[in-house]
Structure formats: C-alpha cells, structure tokens
Amino acid sequence: MLYSVLKWVVVGPWLWLIYRPKVEGGANIPKEGAAIIASNHVSFSDSIFLPLVVRRKIIFVAKSDYFTGKGFKGWFSRFFFSGVGCIPLDRTGGSAAQAALDTGLRVLREGELFGIYPEGTRSPDGKLYKGKTGVGRMVMQSGAPVIPVAMINTGELQPIGKRLPKIGRVRIKIGEPIDFSRYAGLAGERAVERAITDEIMYALMELSGQDYVDEYATKVKALKDKADASAAEAEAVRIERQRQG
C-alpha cells in the first residue's frame, strides 16, 4: 500500500512534473509474469526514477545500511525502504547475501518484477563496471527473462555525495528482453553464470553508451578509498611538520 501511495499520490506526480522522465522502450516491460530488471547504477535516485516510470511494481534489494540506521534518520530510512518493498542485502557476501538472492527468486516465482544492479554498487566515476554473477545465478535458477535498463543521466543530476538531484529531464532506456533458455539444465555452472552476466553487461553498455571497465566497482572504490586515506595522512604529516618547523 505504501508503495502505491508514494508512487501515485504523494511523490510520483511531483517527480513527473519536475523531472519529466523521457523513457525509450517502455513497451519492453512485460504486462505480467516474472522478469529480472537489470540496470546500470550511477545515482542513488536510480531506485526512485526507475520504479516511477514502470507501471508494475519493481522489488529491489538495498544495502543493509538503509535498514540499520539510528535515530529519526535511521527510522525513516528503514520505514521508506521496507515500505516500498526493498530487500536488505549484506554486500560483504556469505549467507545474508544468499538470503537476499533467495528472496529475489521467491519474488520471481510469484510472477513479479525483480530489480537488480549487477555491478553491486554505484559507479564511482560514471563508467560501467564488471557485473557480479549473482544475476546469472538468478537467471539460471528462475528461468526468468532479463530486461536491461540504462539510466542515462541520473549520475549528472545527482552525483555521489549530493542529497537531492538537480532539476533536469531524466532519461531512461529500456532494452528488449534477453532470453537465456538456451542454458537450461546448466544451473550451477559458474562459467555459464559468468557468460550470462557478461551478456547482460554488454547490453547495458550498448544502451547506456558508458565506457566499460573489466573490474569490479567495489574493488575500484576500495583502492580509491585507500589512496585517499594515504593522501590525507601524508597531508596531515606535512602540515604537522610545517607547524613544528
């Protein structure tokens, strides 16, 4: 109920009025039945604008931090993401991440749309990064088709670190369904899961026009954070030496 109220009554009409989403390929979303909505991820607002432009409900996973915050902000975040049907995902891997994927499979078996960002996190620089094979595993276990979706300019409207998107027209491209039934009977084969994931990422690259990087975004982010921390430490040492000298 909260999902419908937010989308059609409270928030959705204002977002349509202010951001005037331009959608290409909307007819590629099936009117019924299970499908995996696989999108690139360049902005926090992707999870707002994509469900906005698709009439059917899309259920996403969301990082577990959104469900564990403290105080009013933490309560509101938990209320909002739970209310719109998001599933908490522990991105450190292990049983929690598997539980989220299992929940996604349940969603698909109930004939619903399940949204996923194969990169596993937002792009740190607007490029498209290597997809994690969870989406390939989900395809093999569910048999659901994949609808590739490219968020074109949400990263420009709301760069990382910005709380609210700038005013501008949102552009979204929805590709044709990808059928992976040719891999039927090969569930559990890691090479097949990798091949499926790579095909999805290629479709996203074609739709979005992003440069592709054959590295995981999480690894790139970790290296950047480490470099930033080292630079900050070096700067602190330099300032301290200047103060003492």
Q: What is the pLDDT of residues 149-167, one digit of tens each?
A: 999 999 999 988 888 889 9
Phi first, then psi, for residue 29 (nearest 5°) are -80, 120
- At the topology level, CATH places domain 2-214 in Glycerol-3-phosphate (1)-acyltransferase (3.40.1130)
- Would you call 62 helix, strand, or coil by DSSP? strand
pLDDT at residue 91 in the model: 58
pTM attached to this predicted model: 0.86
Q: How far is CA 111 from CA 17, 38, 62, in A?
A: 31, 16, 20
pLDDT at residue 93 in the model: 55
Which two three-digit tokens encode residue 196? 């499926």
pLDDT at residue 70 in the model: 85
pLDDT at residue 152 in the model: 96
pLDDT at residue 142 in the model: 95
Residue stretches of the chain with pLDDT short of 70: 1-2, 83-85, 89-97, 228, 237, 245
pLDDT at residue 81 in the model: 76
Q: Give 67's contacts (C-beta < 8 A, 6+ positions apart).
A: 77, 78, 81, 82, 88
- Would you call 117 helix, strand, or coil by DSSP? coil
- 191-227 as b/e: b if 16+ CB within 10 A: ebbebbbbbbbebbbebbebeebeebbbebbeeeeee
